[in-house]
């Protein structure tokens, strides 16, 4: 039987692609005060970003419960005896922990489950999931799928531009000490992923200079196997960056994806990023 791939909504895989690849997406929870939503189920991106900028309450996110994972695992176990569950970096989320608890319960019924920390967020995680799903579709065993996952994680690099640090600071993901001059100058912050941690990667005085840094980052890749452009509220900038990718790498069709609530809570409006998967 085919290995089944499970992920969470922090991967920002579109519903269409998830369905096409046979991937099950477990929604992360989003809370605005007393209002609780399932990311991508009860609230879409348009409504989320509207509430993010207009609500006096700063939202928070919460991992799916172990019970949510048990339910999904048990449903998948009706079709397969092997599951690979790929999630947001454990350095910034409790999703992996919840999945591991769910695994302990579900495995008692005879299904083998491997929970994997993607070491990333948004389409970093998404590209890992896509690689796993394609390997499963090709008939790989669970161990082979996990090997492909580990291999893909090591092929990825990411850089993102934050138009403001206000939301990151409010959400506690980035302390003011990381970018002390941001409060003095209207600069834009660049962040990257390293060892599963979101880390500062520099500052740009204007948005256009920040986008130039994204272009430079993309140009630095020698052999690109896959590439994703992610954005929160500026589809025009994402499309322009995708067209730039096409001019550099004619054989690559970049994936352009909107940041969902799981990361959008912290990235805020105007966020723009690129995730590269470099050939081995």
What is the residue-wise DSSP string for 13-29?
Answer: --HHHHHHHTEEEEPPE
- Give every CB contact of residue 194 below 8 A, 6+ residues apart in sequence: none
Q: What is the pLDDT of residues 188-213, one digit of tens each?
A: 999 999 888 888 899 999 999 999 99
Q: Break the chain down into helix, strand, coil percent, rounded to 5.
A: 45, 25, 30
DSSP classification of residue 186: -
Whole-angstrom distance, CA of residue 226 vs CA of residue 275:
8
Q: Where are the beta strands (DSSP E) in the chain?
A: 4-8, 23-26, 29-32, 35-38, 60-62, 82-87, 112-117, 156-162, 188-194, 197-204, 224-231, 255-258, 272-278
| pLDDT one-digit tens code per residue, 122-141 | 999 999 999 999 999 999 99
DSSP 8-state class, residue 181: G
**Residue 115 sits in a domain of what CATH number?**
3.40.50.10170
Q: How much is the pLDDT for 110?
A: 82
Quick one: 66 and 183 in the same domain? no
Q: Which of 128, 154, 180 is the last residue of a domain?
A: 154
Give residues with Cβ within 8 angstroms of 187, minimum separation 6. Answer: 179, 181, 203, 204, 205
Starting at the edge strand found earlier in the chain, the sheet holding 4-8 runs 23-26, 4-8, 82-87, 112-117
Mean pLDDT by groups of 10 residues along the chain of 280 residues: 94 94 96 94 95 93 96 94 96 94 90 96 97 97 97 97 86 54 68 90 93 97 93 98 95 94 93 94
Clarify whether residues 159 and 274 are in a common domain. Answer: yes
160 and 149 in a common domain: no
Given this model, what pLDDT does residue 170 score? 75
Contact (Cβ atoms closer than 8 angstroms) between residue 49 and residue 261 = no
- What domain count does the chain have? 2
Domain range holding 102?
4-154
Q: What is the pLDDT of residue 108?
A: 83
**pLDDT score, position 94:** 94
| Strand 197-204 relative to strand 60-62, pairing | unpaired
Neighbour count for residue 57 (Cβ, 10 Å): 11
Helix (H, G, I), strand (E, B) or coil at 264: helix
- Which of these three, 123, 154, 185, is where a domain ends? 154
| Residue 223 Cα to chain centre, angstroms | 22
């Amino acid at each position: 039987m085919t290995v089944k791939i499970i992920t969470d909504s922090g991967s920002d895989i579109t519903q269409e692609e998830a369905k096409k690849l046979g991937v099950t997406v477990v929604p992360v929870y989003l809370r605005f005060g007393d209002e609780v939503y399932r990311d991508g189920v009860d609230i879409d991106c348009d409504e989320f970003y509207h509430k993010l900028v207009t609500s006096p309450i700063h939202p928070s996110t919460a991992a799916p419960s172990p019970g949510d994972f048990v339910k999904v695992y048990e449903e998948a176990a009706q079709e397969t005896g092997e599951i690979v569950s790929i999630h947001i970096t454990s350095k910034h989320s409790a999703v992996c922990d919840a999945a591991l608890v769910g695994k302990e319960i579900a495995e008692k019924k005879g299904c083998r489950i491997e929970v994997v920390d993607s070491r990333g967020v948004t389409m970093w995680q998404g590209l890992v999931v896509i690689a796993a799903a394609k390997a499963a579709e090709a008939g790989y065993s669970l161990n082979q799928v996990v090997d492909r996952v580990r291999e893909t994680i090591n092929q990825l690099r990411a850089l993102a531009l934050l138009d403001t640090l206000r939301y990151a600071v409010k959400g506690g993901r980035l302390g003011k000490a990381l970018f002390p001059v941001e409060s003095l100058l209207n600069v834009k912050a660049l962040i990257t992923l390293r060892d599963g941690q979101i880390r500062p990667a520099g500052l740009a005085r204007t948005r256009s200079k920040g986008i130039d840094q994204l272009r430079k980052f993309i140009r630095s890749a020698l052999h690109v196997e896959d590439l994703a452009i992610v954005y929160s509220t500026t589809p025009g900038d994402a499309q322009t960056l995708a067209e730039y990718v096409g001019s550099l790498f004619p054989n690559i069709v970049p994936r352009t994806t909107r940041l969902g609530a799981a990361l959008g809570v912290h990235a805020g409006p105007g966020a723009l990023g690129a995730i590269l998967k470099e050939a081995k």
